[in-house]
Amino acid sequence: MATGTKSRPISSFLLRNPRIRLIGLLAFPMTWIIGVYIVSLFLLLITAFWYVDPFSSLVRPGFTLDNFIDVFTVPAYLSTSIRTLFIALAVTFLCILFAVPLGLYMAKIARPWVRNLLAVAITLPLWAGYLVKIIAMRLVFTEQGFFNWAMAPFGIKGPGFSVPIVILTLTYLWFPYMALPVFTAMRQIPHNLFDASSDLGARGFMTIYRVVIPLIIPAIIAGSVFTFSLSLGDYLAARFTGGATQMIGSLIAANINLNPPVAAAFSMIPIAFVVIYLMVARRTGSLERM
Amino acid sequence: MALIQIRGLRKTFGSVTAVAGITLDIESGEFITLLGPSGSGKTTVLRMIAGFENPDEGVITLGEEEITHLPPFDRDVNTVFQDYALFPHMTIQENVEYGLRTRKVAKAERARQALEAITSVKLAHVADRLPHQLSGGQRQRIALARALVLRPKVLLLDEPLGALDRQLREEMQIELKRIQREAGITFIFVTHDQEEAMRMSDRIVVFNEGRIEQVGTPEEVYERPATRFVAGFLGVSNILEGEASRAVGGSGASISIRPERIRIEPDSYKSSGEESALVGLLTEVAYLGANTIFIIEADAGARISVTKLNQELPSQNVRFATGDRVLAVWRKNHASEISV
């Protein structure tokens, strides 16, 4: 518009100065990302190399690898890391195990209203608070809880608060983050690939193994980044449904006041696990071949 | 005994009848085309032969074996899909090997047979690529190789050339016909393109509204259309009814006569005993390059379209102009009575 220069000075100024326009666009998000995300993570990393003065119990800046050495050499610490890794992998595996058949059913077999109902059922737990869900699981598996009551006629008794219940609780918490991407990816598989597979002689399992799974691998990896990393960092599930079970998060929580550098060093472990996990996923080539 | 026998096949989807009870025999080694407009049931019949749909009624027999309700993986038939349905995450080689893998063919043998099949469609150089790196025509040929490597008794082709451009389409038509002849496999080909059907088929099955209108060689269905639908779907036809039909000595049943079989004569022309003629007014002359189309409004009440191949320069060969009284003349054995 010809009158634009007069009536809209800011717009026309920005139009002529793309650099300033870019700054205007990114000022807030970049402040947030750099100022809060990156700096706090960086501070965490730095703190991991600091130490606690044994006399004053105050945190002193410096450079020591002792915190990391502790993490890897103190048997209780090491076994906790391994237990946490195992729990996170088990949660991820269970989520995949539930999500793939469910996604297949929802995407390819279910009638539209059943599909919508299931989609709501999957996302419904996301509406409830995180603690609420942990307490719900605690109530189900407590000594006089629902599980023991319902299973009593069959002579089955629950394991009590322990690692398996932590795994179930975390699976319950993070399942939607696996189920939704898997379902979405499944819907995008053209139906005639299923026809073609069976036409070429494949039965159901082979079709799932050779056609469906490879095509939804990116979704499984996306979902597993959530289930895996959220499980690695969690400690309330272990606290309320794990009995004596300790996870990395439990150790961080225990050390955060007494020994912040050790807590910081522990915080690096889940990050390292996730980075290694993503590198392995990348290595397999399953991300590029799409 | 026919290789495939279809008896009383019926399929409904909800309240829609897709296939309304068809019976058909398909001979071994035959190239047979199921031709019809979209929604006529031809693809549903193909999908029932493949095993993707379960018929509501009827029986399908392949060789000695009844296959009506067998799953697709237990049938000795393979399909070339409309949009190829190549597995996007597998290389061309892996795609072609897929069916051999399900049959537990040893690895080296599998690779050898697959490469042979890929070579036979002249695409050995793309064996290591992924489907999305290929052109439509190449994907088409790979889909064909993937099905043929299993040496099925019957190959089902569901509008496989629909997505190709015209030139590629004609090349593929010739190629398909050659492959079918050399492999000696029965091809059941679905299309809505009547020219494609005429060009390739030993026999054509014309579908309309879930029923078979006519089965015959291309010449039979073109020259002797059984119904008004067939006459109109394969090429263009003049339909003479009632008075017009009686005026050329018919019983009053509808008569079909192709525009290119009619010639125009002056109204003084005396037709022979082997000829039929209708007198009328020439109302339109349209020059279309290869052909000229004449429209005659017959006195007996019919609009007759006449096609004349322009073997001479039309401007130097003007015999008739709009407004002339003319005779439309044809040989009696070129016309056929149709039902419905």
Question: pLDDT by residue for chain A (290 residues), tens digit each?
Answer: 455 446 788 888 888 888 888 888 888 888 888 888 888 888 888 888 888 887 777 888 888 888 888 888 888 888 999 999 999 999 999 999 999 999 999 998 899 999 999 999 988 888 888 889 999 889 888 888 888 888 888 887 777 788 999 999 999 999 999 999 999 999 999 999 999 999 999 998 999 999 999 999 889 988 988 899 899 989 899 888 888 888 888 888 888 888 888 888 888 888 888 888 888 877 766 555 44
Residues B223 and B243 in one domain: no
Check CB contact of B269 with chain A, cutoff 8 Å.
Answer: no
Each residue's pLDDT tens digit, B280-335: 999 999 999 899 999 999 998 889 999 999 888 877 767 888 889 999 999 988 99
Whether A203 and B98 lie within 8 Å, measured CB to CB: no
- The Cα B158–Cα B42 span in angstroms is 9
Residues B177 and B86 in one domain: yes
Mean pLDDT, to the nearest integer, of B201-218? 96
Q: Where does a domain end: B199, B233, B267?
A: B233
Whether A200 and B146 lie within 8 Å, measured CB to CB: yes
Residues A33 and A111 in one domain: no
Residues A215 and A135 in one domain: yes
The whole-model pTM stands at 0.82
Residues B184 and B94 in one domain: yes
| The one-letter amino acid at B67 | I
Residues B58 and B187 in one domain: yes
Residues A11 and A113 in one domain: no
- The Cα A46–Cα B97 span in angstroms is 54
Q: Where does a domain end: B183, B201, B233?
A: B233
Each residue's pLDDT tens digit, B119-171: 988 899 999 999 999 998 899 999 999 999 999 999 999 999 888 888 888 88
Residues A31 and A127 in one domain: no
Residues A13 and A120 in one domain: no
Q: Where does a domain end: B188, B209, B233?
A: B233
Q: In Å, how far is A62's CA from the nearest CA of chain B?
A: 51
The CB density around residue A8, as the number of other CB atoms within 10 Å, is 13
Please give the residue range of the domain that contains residue B296.
Answer: 239-337
Residues B313 and B185 in one domain: no
* Residue in B43, B46, B75, B81 to test binding to A, most A beta-carbons within 10 Å: B81
Domain count, chain B: 2
Alpha carbon of residue A69 to chain centroid: 27
Domain annotation covers residue A57: no
Residues B94 and B117 in one domain: yes
Residues B223 and B253 in one domain: no
CATH number, domain at B327?
2.40.50.140
Residues A43 and A143 in one domain: no
Q: In the beta sheet, which residues pair with residue B32?
A: B188, B203
Residues A166 and A272 in one domain: yes
Residues A122 and A91 in one domain: yes
Whether B89 and A195 lie within 8 Å, measured CB to CB: no
Residues B145 and B271 in one domain: no
pLDDT score recorded for residue A290? 40
Domain count, chain A: 2
Residues A103 and A10 in one domain: no
**Residues of chain B with C-beta less than 8 angstroms from the C-beta of A287:** none
* Residue in A194, A200, A206 to test binding to B, most B beta-carbons within 10 Å: A200
Residues B284 and B211 in one domain: no
CA-to-CA separations, B150 to A189, B104, B130, B141, B146, in angstroms, rounded: 25, 12, 21, 15, 8
Q: In Å, how far is B96's CA from the nearest CA of chain A?
A: 10
Domain annotation covers residue A151: yes
Domain annotation covers residue A233: yes
Task: Mark out chain A residues that contact chain B at CB-CB < 8 A.
Answer: 190, 192-193, 195-203, 206, 210-211, 214-215, 289-290
**What is the ipTM metric for this complex?**
0.86
- Rg over alpha carbons for chain A, rounded to the nearest Å, is 25
Whether A201 and B103 lie within 8 Å, measured CB to CB: yes
CATH number, domain at A229?
1.10.3720.10
Residues A43 and A149 in one domain: no
Q: In Å, how far is B74's CA from the nearest CA of chain A?
A: 7
The closest alpha carbon to A83, from A286, A269, A221, belongs to: A269
- CB nearest A192 (choices: B85, B99, B103): B85
Domain annotation covers residue A218: yes
Residues B76 and B169 in one domain: yes
Please give the residue range of the domain that contains residue A195.
Answer: 67-283
Nearby residues of B288 by Cβ (< 8 Å), 6 or more positions away: none
Check CB contact of B14 with chain A, cutoff 8 Å.
Answer: no
Domain annotation covers residue A277: yes
